Amino acid sequence: MAENDAPNDREINEARARIAPYVARTPLVRAYALQGEARAWLKLETLQPTNSFKVRPAFNSMLARLDEARSRGVVASSSGNFAQAVAYAARELGAHARIVMPSNTSPYKIARTRAFAGRDDAVVLSGPTFDERWALTEKLQKESGSLLVHPYDSRETIAGDATLGLELLDDLGGDFTVVVPASGGGLLAGVALAVKTARPRARVVGVQSKANGSMRASFVAGSRRKSPPFTSVADSLVAAIPGENTFAIIKRLVDDVVDLEESEFLDAVKFLALEQKLVAEPGGAASVAALRTGKLGRVTGDVVCIVSGGNAIS
């Protein structure tokens, strides 16, 4: 995706207006227990209807092509949070959804996806790997002719994710640092696009699991790198390679990408529960973990940790 091919300001603002009746404008709250030299804030995407930011791209992708979504149905691929968002959005908008999920997905997330869709057959299980999931998704899409709703790499998805960045710009004056969980890169690219366009001196940092490492390796190399098969407690951050379109934006606008040990995710989940009285899943707590462990280096001024998902079961 060339610079002039990324979603522009008009598209991002249209996405914001389009999804407004369906998604929450989530609060930005102070995190006093995270205070150091910086003023720490938490962006609580856990308060979205399906408890993650994924409703933003799911609704924007379907609303942008609503006639097609309703007439052809939609197909999507997800390890959990996007699956729930697509199921919910499709039911709200009157579209038939089929969602491919890997067989090692949390039973809790599978059950919630079926519940949001209102149909057990909405979920189609693939093999456990990223490649197996995508192979089955592409097969179903070709066979059915359904509209593919991409979890991170379409123009509509990135614009939907960017709406979160617009809210940060509304809530905070001046420059700030925003820390964003990273998987395929939709949220990271979208937030970077919105924030850096308006405030070029703001700092945007991505966070992922060291067990995955694809985004960090790609960022360092300057080109996309694929992770070998892995497992991680951060099961919402499992894309084995950044999106082609998302990475073009990330390479241009993101300041850094850091990675975390498995225990650091879990420590952040515990911290949020005990100190902030918030429920977050490991991947959703990645930004908090990055700040707590010093992975961001010296941070001053305002720093926003996006708490991207709260679909934890224990």
Residue 65, classed as helix, strand or coil, is coil
Hey, what amino acid is at 265?
A: F
Q: What is the pLDDT of residues 192-238, one digit of tens each?
A: 999 999 999 999 999 999 999 999 999 999 999 999 888 899 888 98
Taking the mean position of all CA atoms in its chain, how far away is CA 181? 7
Q: What angle do CA 293, 297, 298 make, to 5 degrees?
A: 115
Residue 9 token pair: 């300001």
- Specify whether the CB–CB gap between 120 and 20 falls below 8 A: no
The C-alpha atoms of residue 166 and residue 43 are separated, in whole angstroms, by 12
Whole-structure pTM value: 0.94
Q: Structural domains in the chain? A: 3-53+154-307 (3.40.50.1100), 55-149 (3.40.50.1100)
- Specify whether the CB–CB gap between 99 and 126 falls below 8 A: no
CA 92 to each of CA 40, 95, 118, 143: distance values in angstroms, whole numbers, following the listed order: 35, 8, 11, 25
Q: What angle do CA 240, 243, 249 make, to 5 degrees?
A: 135
Q: Are strands 38-44 and 28-30 parallel, antiparallel or unpaired?
A: antiparallel
Highest mean pLDDT (candidates 122-131, 186-195, 237-246): 186-195
Q: Find the helix or strand (DSSP H, E) in which 301 lies.
A: strand 301-307
Q: What is the pLDDT of residues 28-84, one digit of tens each?
A: 999 999 978 899 999 999 999 999 999 999 999 999 999 999 999 999 999 889 999
Indicate whether 159 pLDDT > 70: yes
